[in-house]
A and B are shown apart, each in its own frame.
Chain A
Amino acid sequence: MTLPIDSEDLAPEVRKLLADWLVAMSDSKHVLGLRYAEWCTGAPELEADIAASAMAQFELGHARVLRGVLADLPEDPRGASRDSDPASWYSNAALDAPFADWTELVVANALVDTLLTVNLRAALEGSFRPLTQRLRKVLAEEEYHAVHAGAWVRRLAQGPPSTIDRLGAATGAVWPGCLAWFGPPQGNGLDELHEAGVLAAGAAGLRRGWLDAVEPMFAGGAVTLDLGVTIDWEGWSPASRRHGAPAFDERCFEMITGARTRALGVRD
């Protein structure tokens, strides 16, 4: 059995990688929560409205849990630029813009939400105590997000040809950005966190775990997952685990940074 690790047991360069991973995870969960919430009255049925709302609440709560771990690390990279520079946000590219339709929400639920869950499971099975102490409940709450994703992918895949086309297009748009999360063979940051004992798997293991989780959702064959897609690593950042900076619209950036409530003088 591996002994628990605390932040002082990690080398500063590993703590920096961990801090970046925590920003990417918590920012992705924060913006995913916002994107789910934007659909809490727009889903195809009332029960799905409520599910979107519930998933939004959990994602926002999980972002807060991860930020609690992040705030205890001296290498926390978040600074004053968070309020003005979208490049200081490390959220997944699939979340840059609102979901244009329900199909896009379902695909993000299936691919992005599952990607984050696979990462968290590796952290729970790792040895970094501040995460292992907090993640059991988070992962229990994530269980039905995956059931929701799989059920809705299968339901849309049985729809008319135009719906299947939408499902395929949305999947194709999100797929490369999810694969890019795992990074290039060297210098991906995940292997280093695995070697330090923070994550129970490195980049290749996490990628395999993610594929094992999402492939059954698409097993009906209506949409083919492009397992051979080539990622151009030029411009990819190991900190944000993506290419380029988030292209948030002004309203979204104001919402996630709390810009419209700053002037009220009632914030922490």
Chain B
Amino acid sequence: MAKRQLYEVFARKTRAEPLAHVGTVHASSDELAKVYARTTYDEESWAEMVVVERGAMITVLALEPLVKPEEGGA
């Protein structure tokens, strides 16, 4: 059975607005990600909504790890 993936959800209320990140869903397929995004983030009358699988996003700046691995030596 297909593994669940993390999808990032973006939406905008009007054509003039940029797409903005509104949340995430976990889903086992793109189809279910679309349904889950639509039903989970239905607080606005969105003009456009898209989902992007997290793994398909291209990192430009990587987050610094919260805890840095200890450097060798003392």
- Which A residues fall within an 8 A CB radius of B? 45-48, 50-51, 53-55, 144, 147-148, 150-152, 154-155, 158-159
Shortest Cβ gap from A198 to chain B (Å): 31
Q: Within the assembled complex, what's the spacing in Å between the Cα atoms of A48 and B40? A: 9
Chain A neighbourhood of B29, CB < 8 A = 151, 154-155
How many contacting A-B pairs (Cβ < 8 A)? 47
B38 closest partner in A (C-beta) = A144
Q: Within the assembled complex, what's the spacing in Å between the Cα atoms of A152 and B33? A: 12
Q: Within the assembled complex, what's the spacing in Å between the Cα atoms of A155 and B34? A: 15
- Which B residues fall within an 8 A CB radius of A? 1-2, 4, 25-29, 31-32, 34-36, 38-40, 42
Given contacts A148-B32, A150-B31, contact A45 B39 (CB under 8 A): no
Shortest Cβ gap from B65 to chain A (Å): 28
Given contacts A45-B4, A158-B2, contact A50 B39 (CB under 8 A): yes
Given contacts A47-B25, A54-B42, A150-B31, contact A159 B1 (CB under 8 A): yes
B34 closest partner in A (C-beta) = A147
Residue pairs across A and B with Cβ atoms less than 8 A apart, 16 shown, are: A46-B26, A47-B26, A47-B39, A50-B36, A50-B39, A51-B39, A54-B39, A147-B35, A151-B29, A151-B32, A152-B32, A154-B29, A155-B1, A155-B2, A155-B29, A155-B32
Among candidates B1, B28, B31, B40, residue contacting A50 with C-beta atoms closer than 8 Å? B40
Shortest Cβ gap from A107 to chain B (Å): 17
Chain A neighbourhood of B40, CB < 8 A = 47, 50-51
Chain A neighbourhood of B36, CB < 8 A = 47-48, 50-51
The reply to whether A158 and B1 form a contact with Cβ atoms under 8 Å apart is: yes
Chain A neighbourhood of B31, CB < 8 A = 147, 150-151
Q: Within the assembled complex, what's the spacing in Å between the Cα atoms of A159 and B40? A: 25
Shortest Cβ gap from B37 to chain A (Å): 9
Residue of A47, A148, A158 contacting most chain B CB atoms (<10 Å): A47
A163 closest partner in B (C-beta) = B1
Among candidates B1, B2, B27, B42, residue contacting A47 with C-beta atoms closer than 8 Å? B27
Q: Within the assembled complex, what's the spacing in Å between the Cα atoms of A48 and B33? A: 10
